[in-house]
Amino acid sequence: MGPIELFVGFAGVFFGLLGLALLFVASVVALFKIDEADHYYGKVGKLGFDMSLKGLPFSLNRMTRYGMMLLFSETLNIQKRYAKQLEEVEANTPPKYLKRLLVWLYASWLICGLIAAILGGILIAFFQ
């Protein structure tokens, strides 16, 4: 096993464990903050969700989508798709801590998981 394989393997494990730890924290917090997040961000991009579903997979999914949408809100694709709804959200002035929570916790666990999966795929595809 060469040094590149070792580095890619350890980086994949690191990002995977970090994403898993963030997922556990995000799952617990989602149960308590879903009502507040739906109040401010529920009108952004009606994604086919039933807002009355407050259970764990539903709340975690919605809050992760809100976080990813806020993270990429300055991109052209999101601006074209959700510009009017994002203006309505900014008019409601959501709390700063909620915006930070959605971006730093909910978007980051998904991104860490994706990085771990990509590194695992690279390890399998190129170093076998």
Is the Cβ–Cβ distance between 88 and 43 less than 8 Å? yes
C-alpha 19/C-alpha 99 separation (Å) is: 19
**Averaged pLDDT for residues 28-51:** 78
Is the Cβ–Cβ distance between 84 and 43 less than 8 Å? no
Q: Give the SS3 label for residue 23.
A: helix
Q: Is the pLDDT of residue 48 over 60?
A: no
Give the lowest-confidence range in 5-9, 72-76, 97-101, 105-109: 72-76
Enter the pTM of the model: 0.81
What are the strands, taking DSSP E only, across 26-91? none
Question: Where residue 61 falls among pLDDT bands split at 50, 70, 90?
Answer: confident
Q: What is the DSSP string of 57-69?
A: HHHHHHHHHHHHH
* Domains in the chain: boundaries: 3-126
